[in-house]
Amino acid sequence: TAQVECSGTSITAVPSPIPANAMTLQIINTRIAELGDASFGNASLLIGLRIEKNNLSRISPGAFQHLPDLRYLSLASNKLQELPVQVFEPLDKLESLLLSSNQLLQVEASHFVHLSNLKELQLHGNNLQELKEGVFDQLTSLTKLNLIPAGTFDGLPELQELGLHQNQLEMLSPELFMHNGNLQKLYLSNNLLTALPSGVFLPLRALAKITLHVNRLRDISPSAFGPMPDLRELWLYENELSTLPTAVFGNLTQLQLLVLSKNRLRSVAPGAFRGLGELLELSLHSNTLRRLDAQALDGLPKLHALEYLPAGIFSPLAALREVKLHNNSWRCDEGILPLRGWLENNPHKVGETPPLCAQPPALRGTPIAGLLRDQHLTPQTPTASSHPSTPLPARPSEAAWPEGAGTETPMGLPVSPQEEEKEEGWWGLTRTQSGVVVAVIVLVCVALLAALVALVVYGCRKKSHVVLMRMKAPNEA
């Protein structure tokens, strides 16, 4: 295979002719400023073309014609500000395209329409201000997309919210957020991240929310998270985590919501949640946990305050043998009905200590399973959450509860029309009876008035005109 290299500031145009048997060509550190049409026309066997660190600022639409087998193209570290729409059209076998460290202002979906075999695309280090929706839709084989190098956000010290979600990021530079100490919300979900570099979040002490769900994270090191006194929400569902080491979240002392559902967790180390004294909600469903160590949930006092469980929460657990539900603050109003129904059908699964009502005071100490079906239960009163309610970025219902968990119709129903009729009306009668009496009285009055008018008319006809005139004034009064 022939390899051709061209370099030097004395070169101002693509050398011609290029050896016909050349398979790779490198043009580096030259003063070439433009690629004309069919610049490599006689080198049709090229599979690799590297044009880097030149003065290249313009490319003709037909610059890469007659390169049917090109697999690798690098145009990195030049001075390109724009690309012709059809410039890559002949390169339908291209697998790697490097456009990093130029001055590109935008890229369009039409640039990539014929690159269905492209696996790697590098665009970092440009002046891209916006990526339009669907810009990468034609790149169906893409496995590596690099848009963000170290230092990208160094000039944004006041940045408070950063959305990097729904890209194909595979890695983060350890110093990516070094100068973003005011960042409060960071969205990294729906990428291809497999690991978190040590200390990557260390500068982000003001961070309140991180979304890392729907990635490929296989493990998390305690060193990934520095002290974050303001962090309240951490979303990690739908990753590939198989274990949680001791004190992995130890620096997140004010965390209130931790979502770890839909991973591959087989074990949770004792003390994995050490330091999470303020945690209010922990989601671990849809993992492969066979057992949970007794010490795994030590130090989570605010998790021991369940008031309700949604209908169907145990439905996916066909092999469930025992669940301990005692020592919680169960509120026995209409919201407890789904749990009561499950307890009635599964009395052998709750152990020797059944769950008892804690509220309201009238039912305190009553076994939930013993609540009578016709026993009056007050309507469920919504309680204000002590932690901020933020809609899940991705499928909140899946993060919080298993699929298919529904709600049962409560026993208390709105008052029916029939029941309303039984309410008291006037004179101690029901509302319906009162209405009938009033209607009868009105009809009698109308009949009497009609009879009186008829008598007056009949009498008036027998009187003279003089009498009628004499009676007019008193009648009007």
Indicate the number of domains in the chain. Answer: 3
Q: What is the pLDDT of residue 439?
A: 64
Is 415 within the bounds of a domain?
no
Give the mean pLDDT of 56-64. Answer: 96
Mark whether 112 and 163 lie in a shared domain. no
In a domain, 427, yes or no: no
Instruction: Give the model confidence (pLDDT) of 279-309 as tens digits.
Output: 988 888 788 877 666 577 777 877 756 666 7
Q: Is the pLDDT of residue 445 over 50?
A: yes
Per-residue pLDDT at 454: 67
Residue 420 domain flag? no
470 within domain boundaries: no
Instruction: For residues 99-124, give the mean pLDDT.
Output: 92
- Would 464 be classed as within a structural domain? no
pLDDT exceeds cutoff 70 at 373: no
Whether 23 and 120 map to the same domain: the answer is yes
Using the 3D structure, point to which of 249, 279, 301 is the last residue of a domain.
301
Mean pLDDT value across residues 444-473: 55
* φ, ψ at 432 (rounded to 5°): -65, -45
For residue 148, is pLDDT > 60? yes
Is 90 inside any structural domain? yes
In the predicted structure, residue 386 carries a pLDDT above the cut 60? no
- Residues 373, 330 within the same domain: yes
Q: Is residue 445 part of a domain?
A: no
Across-strand partners of 161? Answer: 185
Check whether residue 238 and residue 326 sit in a common domain.
Answer: no
The CATH number linked to 329 is 3.80.10.10
Domain end, chosen from 147, 171, 202, is at 147
Instruction: Give the model confidence (pLDDT) of 157-207 as tens digits.
Output: 888 999 888 777 888 888 889 999 999 999 999 988 999 998 899 999 999
The verdict on 16 and 122 lying in the same domain is: yes
Average pLDDT over every residue of 463-476 = 37
Residue 370: give the domain boundaries: 305-381+389-408
Q: Is the pLDDT of residue 48 over 90?
A: yes
Q: Kindly tell me if the per-residue pLDDT of 408 is higher than 50.
A: no
Looking at per-residue confidence, does 56 or 420 come out higher? 56
- In a domain, residue 423? The reply is no
Most confidently modeled range among 40-54, 408-422, 446-460: 40-54
Share of the chain above pLDDT 70, in %: 75
| 237-287 pLDDT, tens digit each | 999 999 888 889 999 999 999 999 899 998 888 888 889 999 988 888 788
